[in-house]
């Protein structure tokens, strides 16, 4: 007997037909509930790619402490940086805005910030950051009660981070601690000797410098071994920091967030360090331990680090500024958003990417214009450019990029940088440090 579809029933079928595995993820309100009065501590690592950690499937035991932490945390499978380098990535995380809106001429504009939102809500906010790219001369200090950019051995940074936490323990606080590890130079760490080939005798025997090239597979493997040792060292520091929170009775009063500013590449697409827009550079770890939940779970909710500000404010139950790009991930969203990452600070390579679902478009502005299209579902290593076989999809993603950045993307990047040199407003000592880290020629 045929079934007559009434208009309401037909509408219900049309709506439910879209409820498949590709539908936008639901709200994370249950995993990240509102808890007013929680402390917030963000711990970030420089140049830590997501897939260098066991929690993201890496076979080498680089991250025992982070893996244990993940057993009590929400793990984001699809977390991305809005930029492949430190200053623009931090600009996005601090402000909830894409870097070309808020980071112009190598300085952060006067704007609403994560620290400002928490300070306005009565929090004591501090930052202890081991990367000279983030100096106050570039306006990153906005909103913080105490802001320090240092150049210290990581063990000393850890000691000072514990001290800052102790000093803030009698009040609500927002803290951000940034370790330079595993950024270059990659040092041979005795505690990580299991990662090294004792038979290696090349030029990277003890370290790989701030900027380096490789001439053979042995050098490339040694560089990756040293990097993995640095990841292991950073994981060790993190374990001690968590132990300190626990010993002070603060762990279950604090929302702890672990992330990085960008990843690191090892010739997967012809480059080293962090220059491009491929997954090894812009996909980052994101682990959030909420003391009210404190159980391991995973989500494929897409995250861009512009989301940090509105999401943390929502969990803490405080007002957040109305930001143009960041989303509060504790709310549900109907659309599959476009994740935008912008590489704009290198004169010799300017790129941006837009990822929607598993479709990813990379646009190169310099040295010459070009586009590449990838299907991350079937080609997670981005080995097969599909631009020739799916021009309509590429055009749709390009149009979405233009809407997101409000204009032609390459021109928007040029306007943001304004032709200013990286040295602007910095001291000679800071310039030399940036050169040592490989940020300036």
Q: What is the model's pLDDT at position 436?
A: 61
Count Cβ atoms within 10 A of the Cβ of residue 435 and give its class: 0-12 exposed, 13-18 middle, 19 or more buried.
middle
Residue 225's alpha-carbon distances to 193, 222, 334, in angstroms, are 10, 5, 43
Q: What is the model's pLDDT at position 311?
A: 97
Q: How far apart are the first and last CA of the chain?
A: 77
Q: What is the model's pLDDT at position 11?
A: 34
286-301 in b/e form (b: 16+ CB < 10 A) is bbbbbbebeebeebeb
What is the chain's percent helix, strand, coil content, to nearest 5?
35, 20, 45
Q: What is the model's pLDDT at position 37?
A: 93
Question: Residues 85-125: pLDDT tens digits?
Answer: 999 999 999 999 999 999 988 899 999 999 999 999 999 99
Q: Which residues of the chain have pLDDT under 50?
A: 1-22, 419-425, 438-441
Q: What is the pTM of this model?
A: 0.89
**Domains observed in the chain:** 29-335 (3.40.720.10)
Question: Residues 273-293: pLDDT tens digits?
Answer: 888 999 999 999 999 999 999
Q: What is the model's pLDDT at position 275?
A: 82
């Amino acid at each position: 007997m045929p079934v007559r579809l009434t208009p309401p029933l037909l509408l219900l079928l049309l709506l439910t037909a879209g409820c498949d595995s590709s539908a936008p993820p639901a709200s994370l309100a249950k995993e990240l509930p509102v808890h007013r009065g929680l402390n917030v501590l963000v711990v970030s690592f420089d140049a830590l790619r997501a897939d260098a950690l066991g929690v993201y499937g890496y076979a080498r035991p680089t991250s025992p402490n982070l893996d244990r932490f993940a057993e009590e945390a929400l793990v984001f499978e699809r977390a991305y940086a809005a930029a492949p380098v430190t200053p623009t990535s931090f600009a996005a995380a601090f402000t909830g805005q894409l870097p070309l809106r808020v980071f112009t001429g190598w300085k952060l504009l006067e704007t609403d910030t994560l620290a400002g939102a928490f300070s306005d809500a009565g929090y004591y906010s501090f930052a202890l950051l081991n990367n000279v790219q983030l100096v106050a001369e570039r306006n990153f200090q906005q909103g913080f009660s105490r802001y320090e950019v240092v150049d210290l051995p990581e063990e000393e940074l850890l000691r000072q981070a514990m001290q800052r936490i102790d000093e803030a323990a009698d009040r609500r606080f927002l803290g951000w601690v940034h370790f330079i590890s595993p950024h270059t130079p990659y040092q041979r760490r005795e505690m990580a000797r299991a990662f090294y080939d004792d038979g290696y005798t090349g030029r990277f025997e003890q370290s790989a410098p701030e900027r380096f090239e490789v001439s053979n597979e042995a050098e490339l493997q040694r560089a990756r071994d040293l990097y993995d040792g640095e990841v292991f060292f950073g994981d060790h520091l993190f374990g001690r920091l968590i132990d300190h929170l626990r010993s002070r009775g603060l762990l279950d009063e604090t929302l702890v967030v672990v992330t990085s500013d960008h990843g690191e590449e090892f010739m997967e697409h012809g480059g080293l360090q962090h220059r491009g827009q491929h997954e090894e550079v812009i996909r980052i770890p994101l682990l959030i331990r909420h003391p009210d939940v404190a159980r391991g779970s995973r989500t494929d909710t897409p995250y861009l680090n512009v989301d940090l500000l509105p999401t943390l404010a929502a969990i803490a139950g405080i007002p957040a500024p109305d930001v143009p790009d960041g989303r509060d991930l504790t709310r549900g969203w109907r659309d599959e958003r476009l994740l935008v990452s912008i590489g704009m600070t290198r004169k010799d390579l300017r790129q941006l990417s837009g990822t929607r679902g598993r479709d990813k478009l990379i646009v190169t502005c310099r040295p010459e214009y070009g586009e590449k299209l990838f299907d991350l579902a079937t080609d997670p290593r981005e080995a097969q450019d599909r631009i020739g076989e799916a021009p309509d999809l590429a055009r749709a993603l390009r149009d979405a990029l233009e809407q997101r950045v409000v204009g032609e993307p390459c021109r928007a990047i040029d306007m943001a940088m304004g032709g200013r040199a990286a040295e602007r407003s910095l001291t000679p000592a800071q310039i030399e440090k940036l050169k040592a880290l490989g940020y300036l020629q």
